[in-house]
């Protein structure tokens, strides 16, 4: 019944709307079925990067007289607030919209970001609640950002008279540790990995002094639960900060997933990572559905130069610089060069700027069509919707997580203790999801993807990453490179 009714409402809604998505009615029917029963669904589609998919979901949630929560980005909530409220009123829905909630006579539909939901102290108490969760492709990073604790120098003091003596004592502890950490500093690395003795010291210290502040109490709880912790040195101010983060962030909200009814929406073309992520916590998805987006999908032109060097080769960096110079010659469209290696990214930008001047940008939004943009994968993923589709994307290094980051070192060590394949279980899925999200615009224009990392065709895992770039066609040369 919900399927038929939601289809009728959607049909009326689209009479006055200019939504160009051929699969919107099929999507609406599937979503109404998902919402009507208690199974767990995962729907994958690049359409979720747009706004066109919102009406079918909202209509089904309105018609289902049951309290529900719709998790989505702040930008999409703002779009609904400003653009779609009036249209839903015209359909005959009788509601009050207040504090991002559609309040009906018998139920309400809450719009909320994942950040605000996680900050709600009562969200873990929800039972048998209907939840539509969009943006699950970001779930790991969202949880990391939420749970990470940062303890700065000013957190060691309080501006109250009764804490004056304690402040002096804590600053002595802080300064003593500062000397110790800076003596261990390695040139070119600002992170300090803590040994078992140091972690034990911190555990005892924050346990004894958890009364001092909410931040101290949070650190004490995190250490008691075995969270990863490390120190970052600040060379400018000559101080240090303590960071803590759970190794298994999903376990902290597993109860939320197991106690409620979910429809998960991923903006990836195929999100195998999310399925595996849930399965490791015995959380199963009953059905996975893939929808095409609102553009004609074209094959990515994939080019891997022959005889590529491996990154551990001393000549690798010079080889990359030389190849990048050749690959940008005579290009009329935007060239994007992606690297998470800060030194390599900066060197490429500097070398190219010496020849092409202001055409070369380092993590800036381009203004013209033929510019050369150098950026990290994360910066590009966050800003790609503001930027024209590149003519070509050059990847000097595959986005394998960096072992210089303490959380990666600690996670690898933890997985080794559990006899788990840390590379295929942790590093490879992270690289795959980052690569997929970075190159997805090329499916719109059949743009070129050029991978200069020799591991792409010399390692089994590299070839596996290439197989997941779909749809694609391999090309044998790129003029004037060959």
CA distances (Å), origin 262, targets 41, 143, 166, 273? 7, 18, 48, 17
CATH value of 300-474 in 3.40.50.300, 3.20.20.140, 3.90.1170.50, 3.40.640.10: 3.40.50.300
Q: What is the pLDDT of residue 455?
A: 95
Q: What is the pLDDT of residue 481?
A: 57
Q: What is the mean pLDDT of residues 337-344?
A: 95
Q: What is the pLDDT of residue 235?
A: 87
What is the pLDDT confidence band of residue 222, given thresholds at 50, 70 and 90?
very high
Percentage of the residues of the chain whose pLDDT score is greater than 90: 82
- Per-residue model confidence as pLDDT tens digits over 67-78: 999 999 999 999
| Residue 257: pLDDT over 80 | yes
Phi first, then psi: give them for residue 133, nearest 5 degrees.
-115, 100
Residue ranges in 80-209 assigned as alpha helix (H) = 85-90, 114-119, 139-147, 164-183, 196-208
- Cα 62 to chain centroid distance, Å, stands at 30
Q: What is the pLDDT of residue 478?
A: 81
- Per-residue model confidence as pLDDT tens digits over 103-133: 999 999 999 999 999 999 999 999 999 999 9
Q: What is the pLDDT of residue 482?
A: 53
Q: What is the pLDDT of residue 187?
A: 77
pTM over 0.85: yes
Q: What is the pLDDT of residue 477?
A: 81
Residues constituting the chain: 482
What is the pLDDT confidence band of residue 307, given thresholds at 50, 70 and 90?
confident
Buried b (16+ CB within 10 A) or exposed e, 337-367: bbbbbeebbebbbebbbeebeebbbbeeebe
Q: What is the pLDDT of residue 232?
A: 95
Average confidence score pLDDT of the chain: 93
What is the pLDDT confidence band of residue 189, given thresholds at 50, 70 and 90?
confident
Domains 2-129+259-290 and 300-474 share a fold: yes
Which range scores top for mean pLDDT: 236-240, 376-380, 402-406? Answer: 376-380
Q: What is the pLDDT of residue 289?
A: 95
| Residue 480: pLDDT over 70 | no
What is the pLDDT confidence band of residue 306, given thresholds at 50, 70 and 90?
confident
Q: What is the mean pLDDT of residues 221-249?
A: 94
270 by Cβ neighbours in 10 Å (0-12 / 13-18 / 19+) ranks as middle
CA distances (Å), origin 57, targets 9, 275, 292, 461? 11, 22, 17, 38
Q: What is the CATH number of domain 2-129+259-290?
A: 3.40.50
What is the pLDDT confidence band of residue 276, given thresholds at 50, 70 and 90?
confident
- Per-residue model confidence as pLDDT tens digits over 424-456: 888 998 899 999 999 999 999 999 999 999 999
What is the pLDDT confidence band of residue 91, given thresholds at 50, 70 and 90?
very high
- Cα 347 to chain centroid distance, Å, stands at 26
Domain segments of the chain as ranges: 2-129+259-290, 147-245, 300-474
What is the pLDDT confidence band of residue 402, given thresholds at 50, 70 and 90?
confident
232 by Cβ neighbours in 10 Å (0-12 / 13-18 / 19+) ranks as middle
Pairing of strands 108-112, 101-103: antiparallel
Q: What is the mean pLDDT of residues 397-407?
A: 89
């Amino acid at each position: 019944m919900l399927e038929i009714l939601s289809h009728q409402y959607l049909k009326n809604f689209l009479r006055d709307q200019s939504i160009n998505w051929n699969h919107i009615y099929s999507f609406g029917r599937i979503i109404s079925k998902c919402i009507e029963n208690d199974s767990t669904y995962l729907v994958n589609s690049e359409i979720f990067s747009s706004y066109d998919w919102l009406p079918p979901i909202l209509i089904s949630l309105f018609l289902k007289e049951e309290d529900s929560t719709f998790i989505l980005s702040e930008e999409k909530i703002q779009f609904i607030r400003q653009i779609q409220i009036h249209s839903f009123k015209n359909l005959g829905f009788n509601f009050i919209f207040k504090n991002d909630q559609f309040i009906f006579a018998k139920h309400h539909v809450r719009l909320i970001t994942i950040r605000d939901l996680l900050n709600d102290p009562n969200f873990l108490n929800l039972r048998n609640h209907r939840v539509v969760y969009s943006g699950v492709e970001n779930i790991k990073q969202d949880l990391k950002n939420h749970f990470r604790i940062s303890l700065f120098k000013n957190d060691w003091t309080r501006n109250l008279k009764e804490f004056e003596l304690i402040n002096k004592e804590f600053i002595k502890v802080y300064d003593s540790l500062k000397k110790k950490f800076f003596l261990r500093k390695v040139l070119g690395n600002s992170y300090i990995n803590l040994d078992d003795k140091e972690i034990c010291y911190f555990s005892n210290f924050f346990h004894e002094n958890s009364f001092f502040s909410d931040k101290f109490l949070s650190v004490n709880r995190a250490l008691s639960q075995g969270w990863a912790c490390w120190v970052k040195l600040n060379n400018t101010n000559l101080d240090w900060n303590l960071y803590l983060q759970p190794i298994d962030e999903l376990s902290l909200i597993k109860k939320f997933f197991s106690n409620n009814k979910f429809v998960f929406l991923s903006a990836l073309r195929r999100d195998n990572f999310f399925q595996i992520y849930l399965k490791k916590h015995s959380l199963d998805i009953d059905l996975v559905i893939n929808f095409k987006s609102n553009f004609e999908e074209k094959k990515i032109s994939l080019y891997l130069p022959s005889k590529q060097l491996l990154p551990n080769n001393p000549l690798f960096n010079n080889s990359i610089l030389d190849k990048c110079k050749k690959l940008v010659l005579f290009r009329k469209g935007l060239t994007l060069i992606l690297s998470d290696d800060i030194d390599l990214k900066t060197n490429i930008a500097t070398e190219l700027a010496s020849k092409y001047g202001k055409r070369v940008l380092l993590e800036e939004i381009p203004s013209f069509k033929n510019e050369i943009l150098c950026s990290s994968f994360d910066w590009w993923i966050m800003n790609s919707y503001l930027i024209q589709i590149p003519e070509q994307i050059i990847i000097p290094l595959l986005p394998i997580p960096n072992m210089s980051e303490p959380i990666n070192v600690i996670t690898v060590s933890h997985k080794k203790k559990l006899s788990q394949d840390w590379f295929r279980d942790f590093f490879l899925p992270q690289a795959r999801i980052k690569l997929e999200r970075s190159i997805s615009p090329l499916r719109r224009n059949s743009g070129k993807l050029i991978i200069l990392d020799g591991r792409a065709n010399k390692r089994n895992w590299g070839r596996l990453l290439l197989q997941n770039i779909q749809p694609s066609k391999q090309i044998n040369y790129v003029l004037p490179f060959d």
